Amino acid sequence: MGLLATIGATSPFVGLFGTVWGIMNSFIGISKVADHEPCRGGAGIAEALLATAIGLVAAIPAVIIYNHFSRVTKGYLELVNRAAGAAGRLLSRDLDRTHGSVPGGARAAAAE
């Protein structure tokens, strides 16, 4: 679960970093060329956008799977809590019957 959460949270930022880095390198390459034609940086910008797409392809399924496992785990936790509560109530009743029950007359005498 922790791995899925980490992938889902960080992948878009890794992709965004790749986009910024690729676009920056494309503009640096364009500035070094004598004729400043924007089409010369197109390949670098396309690679940068591909980095963003790869980050999203990793992040979106990771978040969906994490949310699914989180809901399933929460359901099991509620089930275990209810079972533990029921077992605790049954145990408490059994202990009261066998060890804790004091006859009514003895309680009244002890109270006085």
pLDDT of residue 39: 63
42 contacts: CB under 8 Å, gap ≥ 6? 26
Token pair 């990793």: residue: 58
Six token digits for residue 109: 């005498």
pTM above 0.85, yes or no: no
Average pLDDT per 10 consecutive residues for the chain, totaling 112 residues: 75 76 76 64 72 78 84 90 92 82 52 52
Six token digits for residue 49: 């956008």
Please provide the size of the chain in residues: 112
